[in-house]
Amino acid sequence: MEKYAIIGGHPLHGEVEIGGAKNAALAILAAAVMTDDPVTIENVPDVMDTNVLLQAMERIGVKIERPERHTVKMDSSDIYDCIIKDEYMKKIRASYYMVGALLGKYKRAEVPLPGGCNIGIRAIDQHIKGFKALGAKVSVSHGSIVAEAKELRGTHIFMDKVSVGATINIMMAATMATGKTIIENVAKEPHVVDLANFLNSMGANIKGAGTDVIRIKGVERLHSTVYTIIPDQIEAGTFMMAAAATRGDITVRNVIPKHLECITAKLQEIGCRIYEYDDAVRIVAKDPLSSTQVKTLPYPGFPTDMQPQMTVVLGLAQGTSIVTESIFDNRFKYADELVRMGAQVKVESNTAIITGVERYSGATISAPDLRAGAALALAAMAAEGETLIEDIHYIERGYEDFDTKLRGLGAKISKVKTERDLTKFRFQIAN
Element containing residue 246 per DSSP (H, E): helix 233-246
Known catalytic membership, residue 117 = yes
CB of 312 vs ligand UD1, minimal distance in Å: 17
Q: Phi/psi at 162 (nearest 5 deg)?
A: -75, 115
- Closest to ligand UD1 by CB, 165 vs 362, is 165
Identify the sign of the CA torsion 108, 110, 115, 116: negative
- Closest to ligand UD1 by CB, 125 vs 287, is 125
Regarding 144 and contact with ligand UD1 (CB under 6 A), the answer is no
The site that binds ligand UD1 (CB under 6 A) totals a number of residues, namely: 22
- Closest to ligand UD1 by CB, 152 vs 166, is 166
- 67 CB-near residues (< 8 Å, 6+ apart): 73
CB of 44 vs ligand UD1, minimal distance in Å: 14
- Closest to ligand UD1 by CB, 124 vs 372, is 124
Regarding 122 and contact with ligand UD1 (CB under 6 A), the answer is yes
- 73 CB-near residues (< 8 Å, 6+ apart): 38, 39, 40, 41, 64, 65, 66, 67
Q: Identify the residue among 67, 121, 220, 420 touching ligand UD1 (CB under 6 A).
A: 121
Separation CA 182–CA 208 (nearest Å): 10
Asked if 2 and 392 touch (Cβ cutoff 8 Å), the reply is: yes
**Active-site hit among 82, 117, 262, 272:** 117
Q: Identify the residue among 327, 338, 376, 392 touching ligand UD1 (CB under 6 A).
A: 327
Exposure letters 362-400 (e unless 16+ CB within 10 A, then b): bbebbbbbbbbbbbbbbbbbbbeebbbbebbebbbbbbb
Encoded one letter per residue, x for contact with ligand UD1 by CB under 6 A and - for no contact, window 186-225 reads: -x--------------------------------------
Asked if 200 and 210 touch (Cβ cutoff 8 Å), the reply is: no
- Closest to ligand UD1 by CB, 9 vs 115, is 115
Q: Which residues bind ligand UD1 (CB under 6 A)?
A: 23, 26, 93-94, 121-127, 161, 163-166, 187, 303-305, 327-328
Instruction: Indicate which residues carry an active-site annotation.
Output: 117
